[in-house]
Amino acid sequence: MKRFKKLLAVVACVSMMSTMFAACGSSGDSTNSPAPDTSASPSAEASVAPSADASVAPSAVDKTAVKGEISFWHFNKDEGPNIVKAFNAAYPNVKVNLSIVPDKDQQYQNKITSAIRAGSGVPDVFSAESAFVKRFVEMPDAFADLTAKAKDVVGNMVPYTVAVGTDKNGVLRALSHQAAAGAIAYKKAAAKQYLGTDDPAQIADMLSSQDKMIATAKTLKEKSGGKVALFPTFEEPQKMYLGGRSQGWVSADNKLTIDQKMLDFIDFAKTLRDNKYEAALDQWSPGWSSAIAADDKALVWACPTWGIPWIVGSNDKKAADGGRWAIAKPPFAYFWGGTWFGIYSKSDKQDLAWDFLSQFTADKDAMKKWAIDNQDFPNNLAAIAEGSPEDSKIVGTNVFKFYEPFIKDINGSILTKYDDTIENAFVDCMRSYLAGKIKTKDEMIKTFKDKVKTNLKDITVE
């Protein structure tokens, strides 16, 4: 008996400590779902097939006459309520039951996934961030097919956002209300002083290729006496190079593919680091933030549409006075971030959900108003073509007009559901390579491949 008790004590002790970590997500099929009970039972599949009738055109109906109730999940506590508010301004008689689940430790994703698996408690509409949207787009039973419903409106969307929302069989499943196109933001005073110009066209030209960027970085370093680096971190140009790829990390037959752009980037980043052309800060670190507010330190930041208020504006308090920052065309078209939305495939309110979704992803006026109210950039070519109603104070330019010429060049088809893990591994290897811990480029690539192989067992690494 004594022996048994001891054994019991050991087992209980170990199990309690170790399951604290192991248990948290794998089985936690939480029952306290805050969403109202709008679930469609798995058997009620009658409404799943997307109807191809044309009655869905949002402009044709009287929006105040539409009544009903739908549920909507979002991971962002700022954006979620604003979307509902904007929607209710047009559809006052539709009740949207919003619940916000932050995606800390994949909590949001796990909650949705387990709800879909259980077939109950799934919201009619839910959002997905660029980091995991592909996972839900490719996941069976998650998002409904929007191809037929959206056929009249996709042509007016920025093409890359549609490519991201399309699964590998070409079925459209998620739409975005914003286009997170990338540009480069630079400090005007430093550019003028050390490069002789602060004109966006000339700056864009100075940074239009790898060789030109290196030459510009050299000039900048020499003229400023080493006070100003071209980039705060290698992760800024990495965003652009990632966008400049012609193929994604994982090919259609599930093979790891390292695009030529990334091979170029490895050399480029090494040159930057070895010559102190980048300030070796970590993206999002306090040093990086304070470098944005500083007059020197670094010149150029990767800046998507949302970065104007949230990277430049929120870190440099003086930016809103104007004249400190400008934006220029990036060397390679890219996008960074963004949120997509889709309708649950087995929701029994497909039409109402589409009214909701199309209101903020396809209605030009609503989208334009949204963009102005939220300092956002609409995913609507007609709205973009009309230009922003007023110039941005921070970068002193008409933001819609500025992005319009190159927004269509962005390649959305290179996004895969593995990108997050692969890019984390890539950055880890890059940091070691740049710090000199990995000696050669070949070794760096080999280490990177090994890491991908360890982490992603279902893709082939050669």
Partner 1 sequence: MLNKLRAGDKYGQYGYIFIAPFFLVLAIFTIFPMCYSLYLSLTSWDGSTVAPKIVGFANYVDLLKDDTFRQAVANTLIIWLSNVAPQMICAIGLAAILTDKYTEIKGKGFFRAIYYLPNLVTMASVGLLFYYILDWQSGSLNFLLVKIHVFKEPFNWLQDPTATRGAISFTLWWMWFGYSMIIFMAGIKAIPEDLFEAAHVDGANRMQTFLNITIPGIKGSIMYNCVTSVIGGLTMFDIPYVLTNGVGSPLDKGLTIVNYMYNMTFKNYNFGYGATIYAGMFVIVLIFVAIAFKMLDKNLATN
Where along the sequence are the contacts to partner 1 (CB under 8 A)? 6, 9-23, 25-27, 105-106, 110, 113, 116-117, 135, 139-142, 279-282, 285-288, 290, 420-421, 424-425, 427-429, 431-432, 435, 437-438, 447, 451, 454-458
Compare residues 192 and 446 and give the one whose CB is closer to partner 1: 446
Compare residues 45 and 428 and give the one whose CB is closer to partner 1: 428
Hey, CA dihedral for 180, 35, 172, 415, is it positive or negative?
A: positive
| 60-76 core/surface letters (b: 16 or more CB in 10 A; e: else) | eeebeebebebbbbbbb
Q: Could you give the CA distance from residue 166 to residue 148 in angstroms, rounded to a whole number?
A: 13
Tokens standing for residue 362 = 């396809």
By the 10 Å C-beta count (0-12 exposed, 13-18 middle, 19+ buried), 286 is classed as exposed
Q: Report, in Å, the least distance between residue 23 CB and partner 1.
A: 3
Q: Report, in Å, the least distance between residue 262 CB and partner 1.
A: 18
Compare residues 42 and 196 and give the one whose CB is closer to partner 1: 42
Q: Could you give the CA distance from residue 183 to residue 392 in angstroms, rounded to a whole number?
A: 14
Q: Could you give the CA distance from residue 119 to residue 303 in angstroms, rounded to a whole number?
A: 40
Asked whether 229 and 269 are in contact (CB, 8 A), the reply is no
How do strand 297-298 and strand 228-229 relate by DSSP bridges? parallel
Q: Report, in Å, the least distance between residue 225 CB and partner 1.
A: 18
The region, left, alpha or beta by phi > 0 then psi within -120 to 50, assigned to residue 209 is beta
Tokens standing for residue 164 = 């991201």
Of 148, 152, 183, whose CA–CA distance to 48 is shortest?
Answer: 148
Compare residues 225 and 286 and give the one whose CB is closer to partner 1: 286
Compare residues 180 and 298 and give the one whose CB is closer to partner 1: 298
Q: Report, in Å, the least distance between residue 110 CB and partner 1.
A: 7
Q: Could you give the CA distance from residue 443 to residue 331 in angstroms, rounded to a whole number?
A: 28
Compare residues 95 and 453 and give the one whose CB is closer to partner 1: 453
Compare residues 375 and 421 and give the one whose CB is closer to partner 1: 421
The structure tokens 């097939």 sit at 49
Q: Report, in Å, the least distance between residue 313 CB and partner 1.
A: 21
**Cβ count within 10 A of residue 47:** 15
Q: Report, in Å, the least distance between residue 2 CB and partner 1.
A: 10
Q: Report, in Å, the least distance between residue 147 CB and partner 1.
A: 20
Tell me the chain's radius of gyration from C-alpha atoms.
24
Q: Report, in Å, the least distance between residue 297 CB and partner 1.
A: 10
Compare residues 13 and 372 and give the one whose CB is closer to partner 1: 13
Q: Could you give the CA distance from residue 141 to residue 354 in angstroms, rounded to a whole number?
A: 17
Compare residues 135 and 401 and give the one whose CB is closer to partner 1: 135
Q: Could you give the CA distance from residue 450 to residue 135 in angstroms, rounded to a whole number?
A: 23
Of 433, 436, 434, 456, whose CA–CA distance to 445 is shortest?
Answer: 433
Q: Report, in Å, the least distance between residue 25 CB and partner 1.
A: 6
